[in-house]
Amino acid sequence: MKIRNLIDFNDMSLEEWEELRALAFRIKKAPAEYRDVCKGRIMATLFYEPSTRTQMSFQTAMMRLGGKIIGFSDPGSSSVAKGETLRDTVKVVSGYADVVVIRHPVEGAAYASSLYSHCPVINAGDGGHLHPTQTLTDLMTIHELKGKTEGLTVGCCGDLLNGRTVHSLLRALMRFKGNKFVLISTPELKLPTFVTNELLANGCEIRECSTLEECIGELDVLYMTRIQRERFKSPEDYAKQSGIYRLTSDKMELAKADLAVLHPLPKVDEIAYEVDDDPRCVYFEQAENGMFIRMALLARLVGAERTGRCPAYPLPQKAFCHNARCITNHEKYLPELTKTVDGENRCCYCDSKIK
């Protein structure tokens, strides 16, 4: 694999993805054959935000490959509580470990970490921005069920604004031919423009719906999501959005016989309990795939070389990204790094348009 870090699924070529997927399926078939692949290697998990599946699936993945793990899941118990910068934490920990897995509440934190790390960095979720290893899990599951990840009608329902899993998944699926997207949300929780603009620039067919009933019958894949309570400004704003979408057995009756219902989990109230037993609901299998695809990713990335000293970047003269949730507005030493995507000047950390 050519890539060194996984910050965004789109860092990867489709050939690299296919190779990784094939490896994950081989591991799933015969996990014991891979038990020494990461022997003597250490993975650090820096979890600045709560996680069950992502953290545990990374940890079990590394342990099943014969590696060891260090890290924290409560920044309050680490030097972060003493005011250490992200840059310092990453410089130190990446000196100890062979791969760093980071989850952070601020957008662009994983990209920022990759600038200072001596070893590969994996983004395990950066605020409401991206979550590429969930996308690997989702694509693996879709491929397992449908035999392909193209020519599908995929519906995403719930918090499309703050749901980083949706952003990553849609930006990945747009790269495969013939996928159509149905976006089911309230007007307040529509996809952010950085995702919509990219889908449109790639010529994707998008339909927006306000109810599940009006579109569930057309879908091959339904991706349900939780309303992301922790990203709302106030409990009142959250209360206005919660409980609007609920997948029930009545709605499942309107769906195709081979619909696949995915969910990154955790789910709250968006799926009725009785629906869990419908064989079309595959989120628990999806969560298990998360371990196999992360095993494949770790097996490929920990072989990457260490870089030694990280480059010294010039300090920015002023804030250059207007997104208040961007890491550059929280950690002030980060260099001004921008890129051009579809003719737009964007922040390299959080993908927001630079004015």
Binding footprint of ligand NCD, residue count (CB under 6 A): 11
Shortest spacing between CB 238 and ligand NCD, in angstroms: 13
Strands 205-209 and 99-104: unpaired
Shortest spacing between CB 118 and ligand NCD, in angstroms: 26
Residues 6+ apart with CB under 8 A from 249: 272, 274, 275, 278
Shortest spacing between CB 289 and ligand NCD, in angstroms: 12
Window 6 to 65, contacts with ligand NCD (CB under 6 A): 53-54
Among 67, 71, 125, 127, binds ligand NCD (CB under 6 A): 125
Per-residue tokens: 252: 């499942």
In the complex with ligand NCD, the residue whose CB is nearer, 87 or 164, is 164
Residue 92's nearest CA partner among 278, 310, 245 is: 310
In the complex with ligand NCD, the residue whose CB is nearer, 37 or 298, is 298
d(CA 141, CA 147): 9
Provide the b/e sequence for 258-269 (b: ≥16 CB within 10 Å). Answer: ebbbbbbbeeee
In the complex with ligand NCD, the residue whose CB is nearer, 116 or 158, is 158
Phi, psi at residue 351, to the nearest 5°?
A: 75, 5
Per-residue tokens: 237: 């704003």
Shortest spacing between CB 49 and ligand NCD, in angstroms: 8
The answer to whether residue 131 forms part of the interface with ligand NCD (CB under 6 A) is yes
In the complex with ligand NCD, the residue whose CB is nearer, 256 or 267, is 267
Window 138 to 167, contacts with ligand NCD (CB under 6 A): 164-165
Shortest spacing between CB 125 and ligand NCD, in angstroms: 5
Shortest spacing between CB 215 and ligand NCD, in angstroms: 22
Between 192 and 231, how does the x/- string for binding to ligand NCD read (CB under 6 A)?
----------------------------------x-x---
Binding site for ligand NCD (CB under 6 A): 53-54, 125, 131, 134, 164-165, 226, 228, 264-265
